[in-house]
Amino acid sequence: MIPAGPQFLSGTIASCAALLFVAGASKLRAPGAAGARGTSSAACTLLGISPRWCQPAEAVAGVTECAVGSVVCLGLLPVGGGAILRVAGGAALTALGLAFITVTSCARAKRAPGGCGCVRWKHAEQRITRRTITRACLVFAAGLADLLAISPRPGNVTSGWFGLGAVVGTCLLLVMTVRMMPRTRCQRRLWWPTRDALHALTGHPVFAAITGKTVAPARSAFTHSRDGCADLFFLPDPADPGNGTMFQVSREANGAVAVLATIRNQ
């Protein structure tokens, strides 16, 4: 009989493989999302891939993710060639996880515009966040565990411990993927809405282009006001506090951040 611990671990590995398969399938289901809008994911921007070629590049990534997710899941089942599948699946999942960590960390450090392009849905991520990087770390950890864990596999998918591991892993990944904060009709958070709007502003490429700042100023540097559904942040010029830049921050129905900058020069 297989002990509970390895069965639980197999379940969590299966949840990561399932997420990888869903992410790859969503890229293939809506391959034109990036190119059709003339925009790119943060990975395409970081790697210097134009919006025109971002679509086929993400389609290739989708096929790879589907293949790796399938191999990892098959390696957990009592099928022929299971030993080879387990080694190949664990190595591939580890490599993909490491690639995800590298790309998302560099994109966040360089403030590359766009989300990770992981899962396409109505409220897809508009930028790389700490949760994005944490999710990549979970995928890497699952791949490493699948590669290094010698016993006991294949997993028994009918085991309660396997099911519990799959549920726990799925819940963790959902927390790292789904937008958890409830929002009003203006797409503002119910709590700490001003802080959320300021965070969205300082991470937006328009803010970096106007101010030339790579480090966000302190909250006290801004003067905040509201105009309907929009948050207004005035950043005064240190040399002339009467002049400066007014940033208007709002969110579209799909959660995308829109920033309008107006320079005041009296």
Q: What is the pTM of this model?
A: 0.64
Measured distance CA(25)–CA(31) in Å, rounded: 10
3-state helix vs strand vs coil in the chain, percent to 5: 55, 15, 30
Distances (CA, A) of 78 to 74, 75, 97, 163: 8, 8, 25, 17
Cβ 247 vs Cβ 259: under 8 Å: yes
Task: Report the sign of the C-alpha dihedral through residues 193, 196, 201, 204, in that order.
Answer: negative
**68 against 79, higher pLDDT:** 68
Cβ 167 vs Cβ 174: under 8 Å: no
Quote the percentage of the chain above a pLDDT of 90. 10
Lowest mean pLDDT among 32-36, 55-59, 106-110, 196-200: 32-36
- Tell me the two tokens of residue 138: 């979970």
- Phi and psi at 246, nearest 5°, equal -100, 125
- Tell me the two tokens of residue 163: 């099911």
Q: How many CB atoms lie within 10 A of CB 57?
A: 20
How big is the CA angle at 174 (ends 161 and 118), to the nearest 5 degrees?
120
What per-residue confidence (pLDDT) applies to 67? 92
- What integer is the mean pLDDT of 227-236? 88
- What integer is the mean pLDDT of 239-252? 85
Kindly list the domain boundaries of the chain, sorted by start residue: 4-175, 193-264
Q: How many CB atoms lie within 10 A of CB 66?
A: 18
Confidence of residue 265 (pLDDT cuts 50, 70, 90): confident
- Phi and psi at 144, nearest 5°, equal -65, -40
Residue-wise pLDDT tens digits, 145-185: 888 875 545 556 677 888 888 899 888 888 777 665 556 66
